[in-house]
A and B are shown apart, each in its own frame.
Chain A
């Protein structure tokens, strides 16, 4: 069977969604582990950031790969959504379901909102449209110019609104993962039970919970427990 006809079939589109989902899960996990180094102090986080920046062309290769994976995930989602909508042109007048979940029914919405957050997050933190962060990204003096990522994170999360948006996005991501991380096993034919309880469901809930708790711990630590407050103060006064 040709690869094209396989990929454009209903099962193939879901396989693309599942495989790209696994890769995005690995990215989300790696991203979180990288960020959690904030609890090890400014030197650790900044040297990790400098190490990533030091990858040079390889970093761009990784970025392009991730972009392609994300594009595949979104395109597969659009196909599944369109085909599903076309398959039932007239809806039922009485709603009803037996065992589907809220997370499963809202995958498209949670996914779209996480994507919107991702774009905002990149503009806010990587492209940097926030003047307060821009000064920390390009500190004067030190050669070569290494951004003070630790101070940027603390400054960013010191805004209640930014932290709230971030936490909301993590909860949506957790919702998305709680279905997606289990669903992918069925899509790839690795689940042997149907809906009946499987270790797969436990894995998905644990993974989603880990990501939400891990990622939310940073804004909560900054906002409520004053993580890095003194450091940011000293950096801003040194400038």
Chain B
């Protein structure tokens, strides 16, 4: 495959950036999107050009490190898939592909496609935990949890904190991330105890970081690689209004 990449290049956090056109040649449709970038970088390095910087780690779709806005869609065109699990067979030979970093005031660009997502860490530090020592894993079923609650908690806990929800939201809102983290604990007896305090603290930190408000476009759940439902946003809204 041969592709025309339009890639955001930015030398550093305070440097101006711009879209650059880079040709990708010798690409196999069996490559993942990140392997395609690896190949492009090999060629760039051979030509003495600075390679494209991008975030990646596990490349198994479970760590939440990879990102990339691909043709305007977070993690690209495949549903429920991280960029590392996206394969080049999703594209056609000769395609133009626009690759941009997550765009959010709260996620400043560090270099090229790499953004600083520590705003998410600060939201978690504000209350995304259970503050008592619960010891080792208890015996199964020693604390009864209804099946529906266990399923909901697990669905929410699938969030890998990649930030695609923020990147795809027309308002740059982090509501899906925050509501998943809150919902994950709120549906379990151990997390329920501190629910209101956690909710207030995490929402306050979310606003402080400069994420936008939610206008119910539901773009977040559409691009979420873990397919987390925006029902958790509804639950967070309801509990916030009540508390």
Complex Cα gap A104–B219 (Å): 11
Q: How far is the CA of A86 from the CA of B213 in the complex (A)?
A: 11
Among B213, B231, B240, contact of A84 (Cβ-Cβ < 8 Å): B213
- The answer to whether B6 has its CB under 8 Å from any CB of chain A is yes
Chain B residues whose CB sits within 8 angstroms of the CB of A191 once the complex forms: 231, 234
A4 to chain B, nearest CB (A): 13
Interchain CB contact under 8 A, B237 and A15: yes
If A87-B106, A105-B217, A194-B231 touch, whether A189 touches B238 (CB-CB below 8 Å) is yes
Residue in A10, A86, A96 whose CB lies within 8 Å of B206: A10
Q: State whether B241 touches A15 (Cβ < 8 A).
A: yes
Asked if A119 is at the interface of the complex by the 8 Å CB criterion, the answer is no
Query: Distance in Å from the Cβ of A71 to the closest Cβ of chain B?
Result: 19
Chain B interface mostly:
mixed
**Chain B interface bracket (under 10, 10 to 19, 20 to 34, 35 or more):** 35 or more
The verdict on A163 contacting chain B, using a C-beta distance below 8 Å, is no
Which A residues are in CB contact (< 8 Å) with B72? Answer: 92, 94-97
Q: Does B233 contact A (CB under 8 A)?
A: yes
B156 CB to nearest A CB, Å = 12
Given A94-B71, A94-B72, is A87 in contact with B214 using a C-beta cutoff of 8 Å? no
User: A100–B219 contact, CB under 8 A?
Assistant: yes
Residues on B lying within 8 angstroms of A by beta carbon are: 6, 8, 19, 69, 71-73, 98, 100, 103-106, 168, 170-173, 175, 200, 203-204, 206-207, 210-219, 221-223, 229-231, 233-241, 243
Chain A to chain B contacts (Cβ below 8 Å), 11 pairs: A11-B236, A14-B237, A84-B173, A84-B213, A88-B104, A88-B105, A97-B170, A186-B233, A190-B234, A192-B231, A194-B231
A97-B72, A194-B229 provided; 20 other pairs, C-beta below 8 A? A6-B240, A10-B211, A11-B236, A14-B213, A14-B215, A15-B241, A83-B213, A87-B104, A87-B211, A93-B100, A97-B170, A97-B217, A100-B170, A104-B215, A104-B217, A179-B216, A182-B216, A192-B231, A194-B231, A195-B218
